[in-house]
Amino acid sequence: MNRAATVLLTALAPVSWGTTYAVTTEFLPADRPLFTSLVRALPAGLLLLALVRVLPHGAWWGRATALGVLNIGAFFPLLFLAAYRMPGGMAAVVGSAGPLFVIGFSALLLGQRPAARTLLTGVVAAFGVSLVVLKATGGLDAIGLSAAVASTASMSAGLVLAKRWGSPEGAGPLALAGWQLTLGGLLVAPLALLVEGAPPALDAAAVGGYLYLALAGTAVAYWLWFRGIGRLSTTQVTFLAPLSPLTAAVVGWAVLGEALTALQLTGMALAFGATVAGQLGPRRTATAATAPTTATAPTALTAAPKPAPPAFAAAVTATTPATTPASAVSAVRPEGPPQAPGKVVARRGAAVEG
């Protein structure tokens, strides 16, 4: 599948999440963010686990728990708290500040220095958010706004860690989504019982709303999201996040009759532009970005080297990873007598890091 198709499928996840706010305010019981989080996460997680029948092992129990807390256990309650206390478009649009959080977490956890173009795109997205939120016609709720910002930070940290850890052998996006939804749902369950008490009575509209959120908005959406994390760069994935607030704002205007000012529309246009710009970056992996090429190596080293003795060639082959380009090895191969294998590897590593 080409990159454009992968981007479009991954984009369906934040689009579906953008409908969460309208469903929450129109169909679900009022003031039940923890119960709503539980019903959305745990059934979807158990369904995915039943389909894949794969459990975490070793270090992945801790990793899956951490991701479950960030992406589900903390994110869902904060998200619904914001949805209950603020208009849908206003609450959701804060999520388009996610790229700036991801840039910061990527520098902290992955050691990635943001490109100037990426940072500028993130600033544009944040500026669009400020136009929508700070110039909204209604008053802002401090708790709701704080919850929206915290949920964005939690989801952004989970995205960066998911990219850093990848996935264990034999576990695909369905398994990763199932682990996190189940563990996050189990974390929310006792909190929902202690804070909100017994489950509320549900009418047909509420049951339909919960089914939609659990299946389309959670099980399918998170499968597509983690599938995209595995196939796209962190920048591409995070700049899809503004699609959620844009969808929420459009639904709020078209279905719920929420008013949008000209300045808010300008902010939405900027956020959407940042989403598009975030998908146009160079197609590079971390290895390709840091590996030296013959174009950047000194001329004396890129000249045709003397044939190496068989023993030296075998040593280089045995100590060079399969993913290292041949040009990277030749770029650090010295003229004259062969060196010990350990020294060859050390010089090659220094060239890659430089």
What number is the average pLDDT over the span 153-181?
91
- Mean pLDDT across the chain: 76
Enter the tokens of residue 316.
């280089």
Residue 79: what pLDDT? 79
Would you say residue 182 has pLDDT above 90?
yes
CB 37 within 8 A of CB 188: yes
3-state SS assignment for residue 51: helix
Nearest to 86 by CA among 136, 130, 46: 136
Would you say residue 323 has pLDDT above 50?
no
Would you say residue 133 has pLDDT above 70?
no
Distance CA 192, CA 38 (A): 8
Residue 208: what pLDDT? 95
pLDDT band of residue 304 (cuts 50, 70, 90) is very low
Stated pTM of the model: 0.70
